[in-house]
Chains A and B, each alone.
Chain A
């Protein structure tokens, strides 16, 4: 029984998550609807007893017709269902969110189109997570090669490591175009119609796209998803010239490596860039409006991260200050940053640097969407939505058949969150009610070492525990005790589990250490599936691997209930 379930699940998971798997369409003839993302345990329980019929049973209507429909989708991207619409689903924006939704929609047998006015892949692929990972891959190696002490402890000798800026920049650029073409191909292979131009909503279920003016094409769709994403936020007073005062868009092209760069904002983006720049030889000054660096991280993790990622590096910082005015370098003068106190607004002096990177966050890109045509008012630019991503209009009413996912709704500005939201919406429009559990969505910062987290931070959990009157416990394990980490000479690291001892529920997991971004998924999956710690304790981890850090973490938790589902039947080996 167990094995049957896993068989029917595995192909579906390969499509949902891997954005680029062209080979995925090979699986398409197998109809299936099981979705991992945020699905609660009950889905599992109710279906798992009919192992062979698992997938077809999920769609309540007729499993025969569903089967045909999905197979047909391979050839023609489906036919629009009744109602006389051009499409079942039109997605505005072909970023990671739109792409995830489109793939899932085709799989669901919906005739799908995606509108993109710029390049396929959106921010993540072209100006965000993807190229930055290429730069971070370089910075990680540089850091390692420069660290004589580290190399010596391996018995390695490395002559002075250097780098070629253009080569590094090319690597980032090549990676972005490769992922972009993978993404494009995966949609083409499935028959998603890619419509080029700016999409504008004209009314309910009606929109146009094109370059503006008379060349616009009008289309109708049963459902519309807004997935227009975001752009770097540049606070007023800051003049971005793209050369000495830049945003992440420019920085990822790595057109030059300044000797001294100020990074405004110490969140994920700022932190990752500080890792890149310091590895390439720059000195960095952080300017953070809040009182401490790395706001948003669990305080304990943030503190440790500061000890490892900030203090020993060529970095200093000003906290509790705003950059009220930034003037680009010109006329033989450096970049001048004027600081004011974040609370009192009093001037706090100036900073003169070679370059400034604005990493203050991202602003939703929702202009020109035609939201006024359907009486939707954005809030600070974000499209208001309910927990099912349904758009809410100015009167607080739901706009029928209109959804908004990803950065444009501002719920959780992460590429994979957008994709998960898109899949959730497609589930709903295909007739399966679905609410995404945002607390199960992991986040990662790809510094060296990495930081990752899922669920609540310690203060958030404490507040919740107090409000709801339950007991909360914390346990921690160190990378110092992990064989694999020690073999890599990377013992610096901490994993932290916040949980309920009475039920074994995981409230949050935070990891700082080698490959933390890859390690978090055991915890995020457990939260998504509702798996309890007492059950996780029995899961086996290969030795010696970094995953044992989490194994130990779960085992060190003191849960007051016993494992809920001991394996009853012996499995012959």
Chain B
């Protein structure tokens, strides 16, 4: 018997269930179907025909037509009603034999998924009773599209997303609510009660942004060409952030500034990085020789960034595994090019212009290329391949005096190098002589699925040798 409950099947048969009072305490109502003075062992059933979920995105359906009319005898597998979902019209068949006692939702009307749309009686004797039930339901919920079942049952099986009783009253604000078409659509999608919103649009109307804010969604960057429909993209983040704000107490006077596209992209990458097992290896490197070289080539337009990128590229050429990527968690992807992405802070954001083939270009070309990339980045004119084709990332905070820091590995790359400031340091050599030399700390974060400690150490050793004997960089 219990199997009859909510037997929603992949085929389009409606799920139908038990008896009089919709869904409360099924075990009891089974044995005692309805309020009348009935014998508990009665076998007869009155089933509700539910609005089926015809697609994963369907929240409500419209009755296109009833193929059967009230009083018709139905046999299992017969088409009873045509339902229009957001995708298509579909015939819905019955799962049970019986008589269509009453139609609750008429043709052209809409009901949410799971709501009763008709009543199925097993025998003729029950028709009248079923009808009575239908009318009682109907009168309790006059609006055809209002959820039917939930009102009488405090804990309905079909979860009403919003508390039905509380949500029902009309908007408390006097006067009518003006909301734009898209705002209304979003409100429906995110189950936001539009009557409770305060519009911030022109003439006080409720805009799509107002609804998104109420739903806790980062509004899409406002452009004159907002995407016509992005339910796929927006529904996923919708569930996560909508919960998040409730965990934090609200501090009065705070302002909320939505992420820009760039900031949203950074956030996405940072979250993705959590799925990669990383580790870090640090290495001190003497930079006197590098500094000397830098002084020499500086007048020719060479920047420290170019020097470091070049050095990293030359070292990577000898350690291809550090330049590799783990894409699927099952294999190494060895990149044929060494593309050094360099993290740059720009206008409150972060972008990583890429020096492609950094091992092959000479220092001067590299420096020139870098200059162009930075200019383009400032003008927001970087092409996608100019910021997303990196195979290794370099992040340098040395200019701020940071002595060491820890970088997060960007998705799609094997390793990232964090470069600290070069500082005069007292060093003791193996003969016990003290000297003062410039030293910087580099710290590399790597994906341990493909790059192991020894790999990274060997790479850093090579890198430090290059930095300490930088002449080769100018060749």
Which A residues lie at the B interface, using CB under 8 A?
142-143, 146-149, 157, 159-163, 257, 259-260, 278-281, 283-285, 303, 307, 311-316, 333-334, 349, 352, 354
Interface residue from A147, A316, A334 paired with B203 (Cβ < 8 Å): A334
- Distance in angstroms between the alpha carbons of A333 and B230 in the assembled complex: 32
Chain B residues with CB below 8 A from A316, complex form = 181, 184-185
Q: Is the CB of B227 within 8 A of A146?
A: yes
Q: Is the CB of A161 within 8 A of B202?
A: no
Q: Is the CB of B184 within 8 A of A281?
A: no
Q: How far, in Å, is A270 (CB) from chain B's closest CB?
A: 14
Q: Is the CB of B224 within 8 A of A281?
A: yes
Q: How far, in Å, is B380 (CB) from chain A's closest CB?
A: 9
Identify which of B203, B261, B384 gathers the most chain A CB atoms within 10 Å of its CB: B203
Chain A residues with CB below 8 A from B176, complex form = 349
User: Can you list 24 pairs linking A and B with CB atoms under 8 Å apart?
Assistant: A143-B228, A146-B228, A147-B227, A149-B233, A159-B384, A160-B223, A162-B224, A163-B224, A260-B181, A280-B225, A281-B225, A283-B181, A284-B181, A307-B87, A311-B86, A312-B229, A313-B228, A314-B182, A316-B184, A333-B203, A334-B202, A352-B178, A352-B203, A352-B205
Chain A residues with CB below 8 A from B232, complex form = 149
Chain B residues with CB below 8 A from A315, complex form = 181
CB nearest to A314 among chain B residues: B182
Q: Is residue B180 within 8 Å, beta carbon to beta carbon, of the partner chain? A: yes
Q: How far, in Å, is B251 (CB) from chain A's closest CB?
A: 33
**Which residues between 84 and 125 of chain B lie within 8 Å of chain A, taking CB atoms?**
84, 86-87, 89
Q: Is the CB of A281 within 8 A of B226?
A: yes
Q: How far, in Å, is B93 (CB) from chain A's closest CB?
A: 22
- Distance in angstroms between the alpha carbons of A283 and B229 in the assembled complex: 12
Q: How far, in Å, is B416 (CB) from chain A's closest CB?
A: 24
Chain A residues with CB below 8 A from B202, complex form = 259, 334, 354
Chain A residues with CB below 8 A from B181, complex form = 260, 283-285, 314-316
- Distance in angstroms between the alpha carbons of A380 and B203 in the assembled complex: 39
Q: Is the CB of A147 within 8 A of B228?
A: yes
- Distance in angstroms between the alpha carbons of A494 and B87 in the assembled complex: 14
Interface residue from B223, B224, B228, B384 paired with A312 (Cβ < 8 Å): B228
CB nearest to A352 among chain B residues: B178
Q: How far, in Å, is B201 (CB) from chain A's closest CB?
A: 8
Chain A residues with CB below 8 A from B261, complex form = 160
9 closest cross-chain pairs (CB), A and B: A316-B181, A314-B182, A312-B229, A283-B180, A281-B224, A283-B181, A157-B384, A334-B203, A283-B182
Q: How far, in Å, is B100 (CB) from chain A's closest CB?
A: 25
Count A-B pairs with CB separation below 8 Å: 75
Chain B residues with CB below 8 A from A147, complex form = 227-228
With A314-B180, A314-B182, A334-B203 already in contact, 7 other A-B pairs whose C-beta atoms are closer than 8 Å: A146-B226, A148-B230, A149-B230, A160-B221, A281-B226, A314-B181, A316-B184
CB nearest to B201 among chain A residues: A259
Q: Is the CB of B205 within 8 A of A314?
A: no
- Distance in angstroms between the alpha carbons of A160 and B224 in the assembled complex: 10
- Distance in angstroms between the alpha carbons of A168 and B138 in the assembled complex: 53
- Distance in angstroms between the alpha carbons of A315 and B173 in the assembled complex: 25
Chain B residues with CB below 8 A from A284, complex form = 181
Over the window 177-196 of chain B, the binary record of Cβ atoms lying under 8 Å from chain A Cβ atoms (1 yes, 0 no) is 01011101100000000000
The answer to whether residues A142 and B225 also contact, given A148-B233, A314-B185 and a CB cut-off of 8 A, is yes
- Distance in angstroms between the alpha carbons of A162 and B178 in the assembled complex: 28
Q: How far, in Å, is A235 (CB) from chain B's closest CB?
A: 23
Q: Is the CB of A260 within 8 A of B86?
A: no
Chain A residues with CB below 8 A from B205, complex form = 260, 352
- Distance in angstroms between the alpha carbons of A311 and B227 in the assembled complex: 14
Q: Is the CB of B86 within 8 A of A163?
A: no
- Distance in angstroms between the alpha carbons of A279 and B202 in the assembled complex: 21
Q: Is the CB of A161 within 8 A of B203?
A: no
CB nearest to A159 among chain B residues: B384
Chain B residues with CB below 8 A from A312, complex form = 228-229
CB nearest to A354 among chain B residues: B202
Q: Is the CB of B228 within 8 A of A161?
A: no
CB nearest to B382 among chain A residues: A159
Chain B residues with CB below 8 A from A157, complex form = 384
Q: Is the CB of A163 within 8 A of B225?
A: yes
CB nearest to A332 among chain B residues: B203
Interface residue from A146, A303, A307 paired with B225 (Cβ < 8 Å): A146
- Distance in angstroms between the alpha carbons of A157 and B383 in the assembled complex: 10
Chain B residues with CB below 8 A from A303, complex form = 84, 89
Q: How far, in Å, is B475 (CB) from chain A's closest CB?
A: 37
- Distance in angstroms between the alpha carbons of A21 and B185 in the assembled complex: 48
Chain B residues with CB below 8 A from A334, complex form = 202-203
Chain A residues with CB below 8 A from B228, complex form = 143, 146-147, 278-279, 312-314
Q: How far, in Å, is A129 (CB) from chain B's closest CB?
A: 24
Chain B residues with CB below 8 A from A148, complex form = 227, 230, 233
- Distance in angstroms between the alpha carbons of A239 and B176 in the assembled complex: 24
Chain A residues with CB below 8 A from B203, complex form = 333-334, 352
- Distance in angstroms between the alpha carbons of A148 and B384 in the assembled complex: 14
- Distance in angstroms between the alpha carbons of A161 and B182 in the assembled complex: 20
Q: How far, in Å, is A151 (CB) from chain B's closest CB?
A: 11
- Distance in angstroms between the alpha carbons of A160 and B201 in the assembled complex: 23
Chain A residues with CB below 8 A from B223, complex form = 160, 162, 281
Chain A residues with CB below 8 A from B384, complex form = 157, 159
Chain A residues with CB below 8 A from B224, complex form = 162-163, 257, 280-281
**Which residues between 223 and 244 of chain B lie within 8 Å of chain A, taking CB atoms?**
223-230, 232-233
- Distance in angstroms between the alpha carbons of A283 and B233 in the assembled complex: 20
- Distance in angstroms between the alpha carbons of A101 and B324 in the assembled complex: 72
CB nearest to B227 among chain A residues: A146
Q: How far, in Å, is A457 (CB) from chain B's closest CB?
A: 18
- Distance in angstroms between the alpha carbons of A312 and B182 in the assembled complex: 10
CB nearest to A257 among chain B residues: B224
Q: How far, in Å, is A161 (CB) from chain B's closest CB?
A: 6
Q: How far, in Å, is B318 (CB) from chain A's closest CB?
A: 33
Q: How far, in Å, is A307 (CB) from chain B's closest CB?
A: 8
- Distance in angstroms between the alpha carbons of A157 and B382 in the assembled complex: 13
**Which residues between 207 and 255 of chain B lie within 8 Å of chain A, taking CB atoms?**
208, 221, 223-230, 232-233
Q: How far, in Å, is B110 (CB) from chain A's closest CB?
A: 13
Chain A residues with CB below 8 A from B84, complex form = 303
**Which residues between 8 and 51 of chain B lie within 8 Å of chain A, taking CB atoms?**
none
Over the window 283-327 of chain B, the binary record of Cβ atoms lying under 8 Å from chain A Cβ atoms (1 yes, 0 no) is 000000000000000000000000000000000000000000000
- Distance in angstroms between the alpha carbons of A146 and B227 in the assembled complex: 6
- Distance in angstroms between the alpha carbons of A122 and B84 in the assembled complex: 43
Chain B residues with CB below 8 A from A260, complex form = 180-181, 205
Q: How far, in Å, is B344 (CB) from chain A's closest CB?
A: 19
Chain B residues with CB below 8 A from A279, complex form = 225, 228
Identify which of A161, A303, A314 gathers the most chain B CB atoms within 10 Å of its CB: A314
- Distance in angstroms between the alpha carbons of A354 and B180 in the assembled complex: 11
Chain A residues with CB below 8 A from B227, complex form = 146-148
Q: Is the CB of B225 within 8 A of A162?
A: yes
- Distance in angstroms between the alpha carbons of A163 and B384 in the assembled complex: 21
Q: How far, in Å, is A433 (CB) from chain B's closest CB?
A: 47
- Distance in angstroms between the alpha carbons of A315 and B229 in the assembled complex: 11
Q: How far, in Å, is B232 (CB) from chain A's closest CB?
A: 7
CB nearest to B179 among chain A residues: A316
Chain B residues with CB below 8 A from A281, complex form = 223-226
- Distance in angstroms between the alpha carbons of A148 and B220 in the assembled complex: 13
Identify which of B86, B185, B205, B224 gathers the most chain A CB atoms within 10 Å of its CB: B224
- Distance in angstroms between the alpha carbons of A314 and B182 in the assembled complex: 5
CB nearest to B186 among chain A residues: A314
Chain A residues with CB below 8 A from B182, complex form = 283, 314
- Distance in angstroms between the alpha carbons of A420 and B202 in the assembled complex: 48
Q: How far, in Å, is B203 (CB) from chain A's closest CB?
A: 5
- Distance in angstroms between the alpha carbons of A430 and B86 in the assembled complex: 56
CB nearest to A164 among chain B residues: B224
Chain B residues with CB below 8 A from A354, complex form = 202
Q: How far, in Å, is A194 (CB) from chain B's closest CB?
A: 42
Q: How far, in Å, is B105 (CB) from chain A's closest CB?
A: 18
Chain B residues with CB below 8 A from A143, complex form = 228
Q: Is the CB of A313 within 8 A of B229?
A: yes
